[in-house]
Structure 1
């Protein structure tokens, strides 16, 4: 639970317009996220600012596509500009996962 805030948080009356994932999609997303960037893991590399940036979830846009009832594609796309870095400094830093409805990783690209 968060500590005392300067102003109380008011929860919305409705979640209309929110992003929603349902059971199997949520599981597929969680499995891909934990594989792609496991909790507590920090990337290492020749360029420490880029490695730090790529170690933060805030750097990534994530897309999820339900191809069938039992197949999901999840794509992680880094936006280095969110760390104040030039997006052209690194190529091929994201990933694409195929995950089934039971949470098994079928392929990584």
Structure 2
């Protein structure tokens, strides 16, 4: 499940492609998180990270702790967001053990 604001710059791409990759980042990847979560143009985002191509053709980050390569199954509208229900096609797991999370507007690992 992915919640995506319909005003996000990637919204039309996700909806049109019908595939996506969810990357779980680690403590050393805050810069990538900020880059992909911000308003950086799409081509510049992927130029900053090392990429792989998943089974669906979705770009994955090889620095990710785990990547979920998904096909879009269903979209449910809630307020200004869409809830994307995705079928996981493939999972790629790294050797890293810790993930990067945001809680109460602070980064922690």
TM range (shorter): under 0.3
TM-score normalised over the length of structure 1: 0.28
Greater strand share, structure number: 2
Higher relative contact order (CA 8 A, sep 6+): 2
Name the larger-Rg structure.
1
